[in-house]
Structure 1
Amino acid sequence: MRAGVLAAALAALVCTTATAATTASAESPSPRPAVQVDVPAGVTAGVAVFDRQTGTFTEQLNTAGQFRSASVVKLLIALDVLWNRSPDALSAADRARIDTMLRGSDDTAASTFWANNGSGAIVDRMVTRLGLTDTARPPSTHPGYWGYTALSARDTVKIYRYMLDSAPAATRDYLLGDLRQSTRCATDGYDQHFGIAGSFNRPWAVKQGWSGFSSGGCTATTATVASEPNAKVTKVAKEPAGTVARTPAGADAIDLARPALHTTGVVGAGDRSIVAVFTLHSSGTSYGKAYTDIGRLTRSLNVPGASRPAGTWVGTWGSGVRVRTQATTTSGTVTTLPAGVEVLVGCQQRGQQVSEPPYVNDWWAYLPQYGGYMTNIYLSVPENQVPGVPVC
């Protein structure tokens, strides 16, 4: 017999998770009946959803709140590079930098543009050009760190509206083309398909941001093992050590202390909806928990034109849990999961027996958003099978 709960305390958590978040539903289009934005406990959020078809907001919460941008500022960096310049006029090196900066959220590429094009002056120029009201260059205490640029949900909507409706067609198609090709694993080893990318079916185009976490999963390995042992990942820092402190009140008062996770982009046919979700999490929050929390928040939103994947959301436990191409530990690795993240299970089937003493299990869950399988042994359910999930 196998149970996916290590102790009574975890069992209580699983019960709560299953009640609150494990929901089987067929694929359904948005808009949905209006509901209150679900902001998980301990999360500070700024949210805006704009329906381009009607020209109205369907969700607004703390839309002017300023958050440190993390990698979302890469949208402004790319637009600045292309201002009054066609993508075809870029050097091969700069084009490659923009591609990896937007698809894989590459920090080195962003830092190169930041240093070469005036650092904070990039933000100043884009504020003027786009009429942004809450955006500001990094605080005076950290002028060299582009990830500390202040952004709000409503300004982010303005940025996407410019790209979609006002930018030259070549610029629009180039930048959105890169955002549509967002890779699951960012170049720093973080799984960046949370929020929008995890909540809705394609078509979507996303630019995500994260800061203040120590481990993001997403380190694939081809090792073949009889069980699925823990794996380690290494963080590529987005900010220097010792700078996670709140800046003084006033113009520079953005929170640099709490972990930040943001999801922004466009969703639906014709890029109907623009979604901007900025979040701060309690100190010490793991990447997997923040990933799960922003997913729940994003799934609660009314996003016209979006469709939602069918399946059941289930919590996981353990770290370095692999997603495989088949229901065996000898098959290839698609990726690893952020520790403790919630996953969407489409169906389940019997496969190779996996052992994690004192548990054994031969059931595997198919995760449609990953296109692969994980052993059920690491799903936070009390039985070998997930209740209510069909057999593949």
Structure 2
Amino acid sequence: MRNSLLRRFRYVLVAAPLTLAVGCGAVTAGPPEPVQPAPRAAVEPRNQPGVGPRTTGAAAVERAATEVEPNTIVGAVVLDRASGGRPLAINADRQFRSASLVKLLIAIDALERGADGEDRRRLYQMLELSDDGLASEYWVRGGGPDIVVRTSAELGLTGTMPPEVRGQWGEVLVTPADVVRIYEYILDMPTADRALVVDALASAPRVAADGFDQHFGIPDGLGMRWAIKQGWGNNDLAMVLHSTGLAGRDWRYLVVLLTEHPLGSDWGKSANSVTAAAKALHDLLPKA
């Protein structure tokens, strides 16, 4: 099923009032716009050198990924909430295109601006199934890039940037360190909001709303209880697959694995590389 979905994340803006292009993150509102190719982001992550601290286990995790899919670029951070330590850090401040990870910010923003019962149900579905249509709806309702500006300021995110083109929510730039901060914030949200987000992530089925197998990485590789938000997609520069979330008893670990792959890579092989990295990570985690 995964290999039949090679069109992810090819952002093209089309008609109004709200249209989602094939892939993870292209929406627009207002008058119709001409079809146009996805622009290059202000930062081209593929050309960035490694950024941020590295832990001693970084080489093992990167090696596990690249042995499956050569030329994979890995960015990762793991926070151990029990000790406060970071057993893994790779390119912690490097920017990656978010794909569906931005749905976490969309949900946080919508909940904090006041979501009624129906909105809460739909936000749960957006997170659980990684539903692009609902993400597009709430992106437009929240002011698009304004969501990123508001949440970045509130959460203290330092490397997260809105997309260059207003409707292309999957082109938001994030860093591994910022995604960890997002999960820390979620765990500190009011009880009802925290439960909504975490329960949705813990209920993510193998098959997402668009038919993609979203159990790569943490679910199939880490070997412990999880609550996940995954991301997958491509544009004119690269392909990305991200596996992020909470893991372990009492959500001891906040796990962020962001990966970038050359255009033309096989989706299944690339997903397997993320799973291999998660398996290697398991051996690095302190045992209770």
Q: Shorter chain as normaliser: what TM range? A: 0.7 to 0.9
- Distance in 2, matches of 1:304 and 1:83, equals 35
Among 279, 285, 288, the alignment partner of 1:303 is 285
Q: 1:162 aligns to what?
A: 185
Uncovered stretches (5+) of structure 1, i.e. residues with no partner: 1-32, 213-243, 246-256, 307-392
Among 249, 256, 263, the alignment partner of 1:269 is 249
Q: Is structure 2 residue 135 aligned with structure 1 residue 113?
A: no
Task: Please report the RMSD computed on the Cα atoms of aligned residues, expressed in angstroms.
Answer: 1.7
Tell me the SS of whatever aligns to 1:261: strand
Verify the 8 A CA contact 1:273 1:305 in the aligned structure 2: no
Tell me the SS of whatever aligns to 2:264: coil
Q: Which amino acid aligns with 1:102?
A: L
Larger relative strand fraction: 1
Among 154, 157, 162, the alignment partner of 1:132 is 157
Q: Is structure 2 residue 117 aligned with structure 1 residue 91?
A: yes
Q: How many residues align?
A: 225
Q: 2:102 aligns to what?
A: 73
Name the CA shift for 1:84/1:167 in 2 (closer, same or farther; >3 Å): farther
> Bigger radius of gyration, 1 or 2?
1
Q: 2:209 aligns to what?
A: 187
Name the CA shift for 1:201/1:297 in 2 (closer, same or farther; >3 Å): closer
Verify the 8 A CA contact 1:106 1:186 in the aligned structure 2: yes
Superposition pairs of residues 168-179 of structure 1, within 5 angstroms:
168-179=190-201
TM-score by length of 1: 0.55
Tell me the SS of whatever aligns to 2:193: helix
Q: Is structure 2 residue 39 aligned with structure 1 residue 59?
A: no
Q: 2:72 aligns to what?
A: 43
Q: Is structure 2 residue 168 aligned with structure 1 residue 145?
A: yes
Uncovered stretches (5+) of structure 2, i.e. residues with no partner: 1-55
Larger relative helix fraction: 2
Q: 1:290 aligns to what?
A: 270
Tell me the SS of whatever aligns to 1:38: helix
Among 269, 275, 279, the alignment partner of 2:259 is 279
Fraction of identical pairs, as percent: 38
How much has 1:95 moved relative to structure 2? 2.2
How much has 1:202 moved relative to structure 2? 4.1
Verify the 8 A CA contact 1:119 1:144 in the aligned structure 2: yes
Tell me the SS of whatever aligns to 1:50: strand
Verify the 8 A CA contact 1:105 1:187 in the aligned structure 2: yes
- Distance in 1, matches of 2:178 and 2:259, equals 15
Name the CA shift for 1:156/1:148 in 2 (closer, same or farther; >3 Å): same
Superposition pairs of residues 196-235 of structure 1, within 5 angstroms:
196-212=218-234
- Distance in 2, matches of 1:79 and 1:282, equals 32
- Distance in 1, matches of 2:287 and 2:163, equals 35
